[in-house]
Amino acid sequence: MGEERSGQGESVDLYLRRRAYESLYAVLCADHGSDGAGRARDVARAVLDEAGIEGLAGVSVELSLKLAAALERIAADQGLAAADLAEIWFGD
């Protein structure tokens, strides 16, 4: 994953996107009795094993970008600024 080759960046992006989706899906599809967060941790550990800390950071960034885009859409529907909605959701 370290070398830059034509088209390689796209495959890395697809890997990160797929792993981010797997992590999110694990949480969203967890039954009441199952541990979605534990499954998401398993995905994170697999990324760390497969792609190292840079891959794990990439998945984190991918999740953040997708969450930000979703917050922007929700905020627009509610007449709020996305940053204000993020503060409501994540603020102390």
pLDDT in tens, 30-87: 887 678 899 999 999 999 999 999 999 999 999 999 999 999 999 999 999 999 999 9
As a dihedral over the C-alpha atoms of residue 74, residue 22, residue 36, residue 24, rounded to 10 degrees, the angle is: -10
Q: Output the pTM of the full model.
A: 0.79
Q: What amino acid occupies position 84?
A: D
What angle do helix axes 36-78 and 82-90 make, rounded to 10 degrees? 140
- Where does residue 55 rank: exposed (0-12), middle (13-18), buried (19+ CB within 10 A)? buried
Cβ-in-10-Å burial (0-12, 13-18, 19+) of 31 comes to exposed
Q: Where are the domains of the chain?
A: 8-90
